Chain A
Amino acid sequence: MTTNDALIKVQHLNKRFGSLQALTDINTEIKKGEVVVVIGPSGSGKSTFLRCLNLLEVPSEGTILFEGVDITDKNADINMHRQKMGMVFQHFNLFPHMTILKNMIIAPMKLQHKSEKEATELAMDLLKQVGLEDRAMAYPSQLSGGQKQRIAIVRALCMKPEVMLFDEPTSALDPEMVGEVLEVMKSLAKDSMTMVVVTHEMGFAKEVATRVLFMADGKQVEEGTPKQIFESPQSERLQSFLAKVL
């Protein structure tokens, strides 16, 4: 696979919740090393789109190809593929009954059959990178929101994923903690991690995104480099959205 190949390819993705059409005919590609930032008004289907990528939501129609494999196929081993797709949630979703270290090593040990020593080494290394190595034995309830989200990120990284999916990772944080989480994400991008990020942080989108996807009413309305999207928005929807958020 060359660096220009699509890591994830989304074809004619539709998602309905009952009679509600949450996504309409989404087609896009996420290439290795890209940082795709998804923006759009509330209820436009950003989360649904992101969650379809790792099948937390099952698409109503269309296909998702991950590393060339159609993961919407009934015979696809979705659990295998998910091991390579890290996900970070708005509300962290750390496991409250486990220490930080256990949160990080349980999946590598149970799923990749790493030894406790090996998994712990990687986890401690990652904890050091986000400045939380002294919190390894703490429980999630003992951490601040910003710390929890940094842990959630490195917990996903412990599986050595090919791509990281972020669903509004800073929306539940107090303003003074947003920065520390965005810093971690920026350094990930610098290490050329492939990322898909739903966020309202336009500064992050401008600075870090290789491509911005604007969604409204479940449709992909406009797509382009941050420069194109923020400096010369084409559609009226995007123009009025940017007027509101910038």
Chain B
Amino acid sequence: MNALMLLDSGFTERLQQKFYSNFILENRYTYLLNGLKTTLTITLLAVLLGIVLGFLIAIIRSTNDITGKLKIPNFFCNIYLTVIRGTPTMVQLLILNFIVFASSNNKLLVAVLAFGINSGAYVAEIFRSGIMSIDKGQMEAGRSLGFNYLQTMIYIVMPQAFKNVLPALGNEMIVLLKETAICGYIAIQDLTKGGDIIRSRTYDPYMPLLGVAAVYLIIVMIMTAGVNRLERRLRNSDH
């Protein structure tokens, strides 16, 4: 009768006590709270950096696709995409921390750069597919009115492409949030690391790690719900 055992008073008591020692005692919950703040900060800043990078690269790449111009910038973009997507994020983070910024003490900045540069590669391809999905008649209509290529991109193609890829960008943000869990490797106390610190204090793996997992899950579920709502709203409006 396992189900009954869960309700057995000795069990709930132990649960309460574990909860107390893992989260309440010595304000240990602050490891999770501060860790969460760090995780969200890194994610948010990295997403912004990724969007800026990805946007620029997507413009270069799709301009090359559409007009055949910008061959040299496109070449470098391709190298960037190949390298970033062809190596583990973890390795990129370590390289940035121990080689490129070996002398820097601002670990948070290193993490933001690493994840932003990483995310930029994926966002670039999201944007590019968004741009290429816009009917080429839109570009032609813009050009026929007298807009130059860049103006047509900015006023006509991009707003439509951006709308189409918003859900994909939301998903990229969710992926990134989870990827930041490796930043403990460069001595950043994020949510994951926070849980791990508690574990090393209390010698109890269950509560802190399951707690960390639950926090990630809740945030991801909230973000997913947001993306789904966005998707539905975009689908229901043609403009």
Determine the distance from Cα of A83 to Cα of B141 in the docked complex, in whole angstroms: 12
Report Cα–Cα, A95/B163, bound state, in Å: 13
Does B238 lie within 8 Å of A139, measured CB to CB? yes
CA distance A80 to B146 in the complex (A): 6
- The count of A-to-B residue pairs whose CB atoms sit within 8 angstroms is 66
Asked whether B145 is an interface residue with its Cβ less than 8 Å from the other chain, the reply is yes
Point out the residues of chain A lying under 8 angstroms from B108, CB to CB: none
Residues in B with CB closer than 8 Å to A155 are: 145
Would you list which residues of chain A between 98 and 131 have a CB under 8 Å from chain B?
98, 106-107, 110-111
B151 contact set on A, CB distance < 8 A: 110
With A96-B238, A141-B238 already in contact, the answer to whether A89 and B137 are too (CB < 8 A) is yes
Interface size classification for chain B: 20 to 34
Measured CA separation A138–B146 after assembly (Å)? 24
Given A95-B156, A110-B155, check contact A141 B239 (CB 8 Å): yes
Return the CB mask of B96-133 against A: 1 if under 8 Å, else 0. Answer: 00000000000000000000000000000000000000
In the complex, the answer to whether A95 meets B148 with C-beta atoms within 8 Å is: no
Residues of B within 8 A of A93 (CB): 135, 137-138, 140-141
Take A110-B151, A110-B155, A141-B238 as given contacts and tell me if A83 and B146 are in contact as well, using a CB distance cutoff of 8 Å: yes
B145 in complex: contacting residue of A83, A91, A97, A139, CB < 8 Å:
A83
In the complex, what distance in Å separates the CA atom of A83 from the CA atom of B143?
Answer: 9
Q: Are A95 and B146 in contact (CB under 8 A)?
A: no
How far in angstroms is the closest Cβ of chain A from B166? 13
A interface with B by C-beta (< 8 Å): 54, 56, 79-80, 82-83, 85-87, 89, 91, 93-98, 106-107, 110-111, 139-141, 155-156, 159
| A-B residue pairs, 6 tightest by C-beta | A83-B146, A141-B238, A93-B141, A87-B144, A93-B137, A107-B145
Sample of 10 further A-B pairs with CB below 8 A, known A56-B143, A110-B151 = A54-B144, A82-B146, A87-B144, A89-B141, A95-B156, A97-B160, A107-B145, A107-B147, A111-B145, A111-B147
